[in-house]
Amino acid sequence: MTKSAPDALPDLLTFCDGSAVTSAADWQRRREEISRLIVNIEYGGLPSTPGTTSLEVLHRARVCGDNSPHFVSCRVQTGPEAPFSFLLTLTIPQGDGPFPVVINGDACWRYVTDEVAGYVTDRGFILAQFNRVEIASDIHSAARDHGIYLAYPNGTYGALAAWAWGYHRCVDALITQPFVDPSRIAITGHSRGGKTVLLAGATDDRIALTTANNSGAGGAGCFRHQGPNSETLAGICHNFPHWFGPELEAYGGRENELPFDQHFLKALHAPRALLTMEALEDLWANPSGTWLTHCAATAVYDLLNVPDRINVTFRDGTHKHSPADWLRFLDVMEWQLCGKPKPADLGPNPFSG
């Protein structure tokens, strides 16, 4: 599975000064240490939080006919010092709510078909979609001369952090709305969008469930353990330098010197619900390394007595965010946030046991 055994992963339950984390109160302090390390070194920090965020409704229509969900186009607007805005579309089920919400920022990929949107509203959930590249471009050579970089010029944050900030602003705006249940907000994204939601969920306690699909390197995948044909730290920094902060690249080939690995990012979600979804033929996304970060992060969920809140699923097949993935995610959301029973089938796991 590995070319050579990786050094042990950095211990989540030991403070930087060597003392042990033994209680939930300790974990809150350790969480701050961990958050500073990984968010700053890997992602270049986050853009600052605006003083205000508002939601302006621009258009409202029925999806198809009188009894169908509402399709609402909105603008998320930050202010007052650093005005920046982007579009958010809401597909809202019939009824008065308040409804749980699923936020997805991958509108640039258009894989959320009408069928998938219907799956979300059929469960009684709002689907909230935005296009993360409105916030920061995903062109590889992108200079910091556009979008959020103009409104929030300070810092060294990369595009993943800028996109994660977009999720945070959607949450700001949505929780002010009477038709939204602020205690049941889920976020989901695929691949680079999965890396984004892991960072967004790790840094915002208002998000009750984070689901990253096939997120790989810089997401759920382990830097120290490279499964066959998986993406390396050096490779991803070379090909996508604009995604990360400037410090990460130096760890290419020196992964064992990183003061974290991706189990830190996962553990930052605890005790909130986390689901990472992997595909067994998506070797580039390092499914076996994802299993390692999952196992390591469970230590924190166990400490907090919520072992069921962290889950990983594997399915056959390749890299995609398929309708079947959405159905599995929605089953887990109903389990984690709505009191429904645990789904009977979470897929095969060739790595356990």
When binding is defined by CB under 6 A, the residue of 74, 236, 248, 270 that contacts ligand GTR is 236
Closer CB to ligand GTR, 117 or 236, in the complex = 236
Nearest to 159 by CA among 218, 234, 84, 87: 218
Q: Which two tokens stand for residue 243?
A: 């995604």
| Binding status of residue 212 toward ligand GTR by CB under 6 A | no
When binding is defined by CB under 6 A, the residue of 105, 216, 245, 287 that contacts ligand GTR is 216
Nearest to 185 by CA among 126, 120, 106: 126
| Binding status of residue 217 toward ligand GTR by CB under 6 A | yes
Between the alpha carbon of residue 163 and those of residues 25, 68, 198, 291, the distances in Å are 31, 31, 11, 25
Q: How many Å apart are CA 73 and CA 133, to the nearest integer? A: 17
| Binding status of residue 267 toward ligand GTR by CB under 6 A | no
Number of residues lying near ligand GTR (CB under 6 A): 6
Q: Which residues pair with 102 in a beta bridge?
A: 127, 186
Mark residues 92-121: x for contact with ligand GTR by CB under 6 A, - for none.
------------------------------
Closer CB to ligand GTR, 149 or 163, in the complex = 163
Least Å from the CB of residue 21 to ligand GTR: 31
Token look-up 């889950």 returns: 311
Those residues whose C-beta lies under 8 Å from the C-beta of residue 342, and which sit 6 or more positions away, are 308, 335
Closer CB to ligand GTR, 159 or 185, in the complex = 159
Q: How many Å apart are CA 127 and CA 104, to the nearest integer? A: 8
| Binding status of residue 231 toward ligand GTR by CB under 6 A | yes
Token look-up 């605890």 returns: 270
| Binding status of residue 192 toward ligand GTR by CB under 6 A | yes
Per CB under 6 A, residues contacting ligand GTR are 191-192, 216-217, 231, 236
